[in-house]
């Protein structure tokens, strides 16, 4: 298969799960990032030691949601291999630009990578922040969800 073909399509163009059987088991990791922009008044609330809502502390709840989502990625994304993650972490912080930065890191030793798990974790953590803050403002933007780096497998990647 050439690099110009979609890996999840067979020779006839039909969807299929990538066969990872011939691949080597290696240590793999991926880090994904999402950024959430909120009104200044909402950021002010969040700066008060992880502001509590009826659903609980915003950042703690988002961390749990992100980890849970990363673990369930194959249930959400068609044709993703179900993976038993060795580790997953979600770190959330307010940046100096008063935005929320979410980093999701996923790790495992397997025949396939964890990019989708890291991206799913960062995305769902961002969506959870949106859900928990929308009663204060609907002027919320989730942006810049992207893979920052991956290691293991055929090649490593670092975003520029």
**At what angle are helices 58-71 and 115-133 packed, to 10 degrees?**
150
pLDDT at site 4: 56
At 74 the three-state DSSP class reads helix
Q: What is the separation of C-alpha 16 from the centre of its chain, rounded to a whole number of angstroms?
A: 23
pLDDT at site 50: 60
pLDDT in tens, 22-38: 888 999 999 999 999 99
List the domains of the chain with CATH numbers.
26-152 (3.30.70.640)
| Residue 91, pLDDT above cutoff 70 | yes
Alpha-carbon distance of 65 to 8, in angstroms, equals 28
In the chain, alpha helices (H):
40-46, 58-71, 73-76, 115-133
| Residue 92, pLDDT above cutoff 90 | yes
Q: What residues contact residue 50 under an 8 Å CB cut-off, 6+ apart? A: 57, 58, 59, 60
Q: Tokens 């060795």 correspond to what residue? A: 86
Cite the active site residues.
Answer: 131
- From first CA to last CA, the distance across the chain in angstroms is 27
Asked if residue 111 lies in contact with residue 3, where contact means CB atoms within 8 angstroms, the answer is no
- Tell me the average pLDDT across 42-69: 86
| Residue 51, pLDDT above cutoff 70 | no
Give long-range contacts, CB 8 A cutoff, 24+ apart: 5-13. 8/79
Alpha-carbon distance of 65 to 37, in angstroms, equals 19
| Residue 70, pLDDT above cutoff 70 | yes
């Amino acid at each position: 298969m050439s690099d110009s073909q979609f890996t999840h399509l067979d020779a006839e163009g039909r969807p299929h799960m990538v066969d990872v059987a011939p691949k080597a088991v290696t240590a793999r990791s991926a880090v994904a990032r999402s950024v959430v922009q909120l009104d200044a008044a909402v950021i002010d609330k969040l700066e008060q030691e992880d502001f509590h809502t009826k659903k609980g502390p915003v950042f703690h709840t988002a961390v749990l949601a992100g980890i849970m989502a990363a673990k369930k990625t194959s249930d959400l994304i068609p044709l993703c291999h179900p993976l038993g993650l060795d580790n997953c972490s979600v770190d959330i912080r307010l940046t100096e630009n008063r935005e929320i930065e979410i980093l999701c890191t996923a790790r495992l030793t397997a025949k396939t990578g964890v990019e989708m798990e890291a991206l799913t974790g960062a995305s769902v953590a961002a969506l959870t922040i949106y859900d928990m803050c929308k009663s204060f403002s609907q002027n919320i933007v989730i942006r810049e969800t992207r893979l920052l780096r991956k290691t293991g497998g055929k090649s490593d990647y670092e975003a520029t």
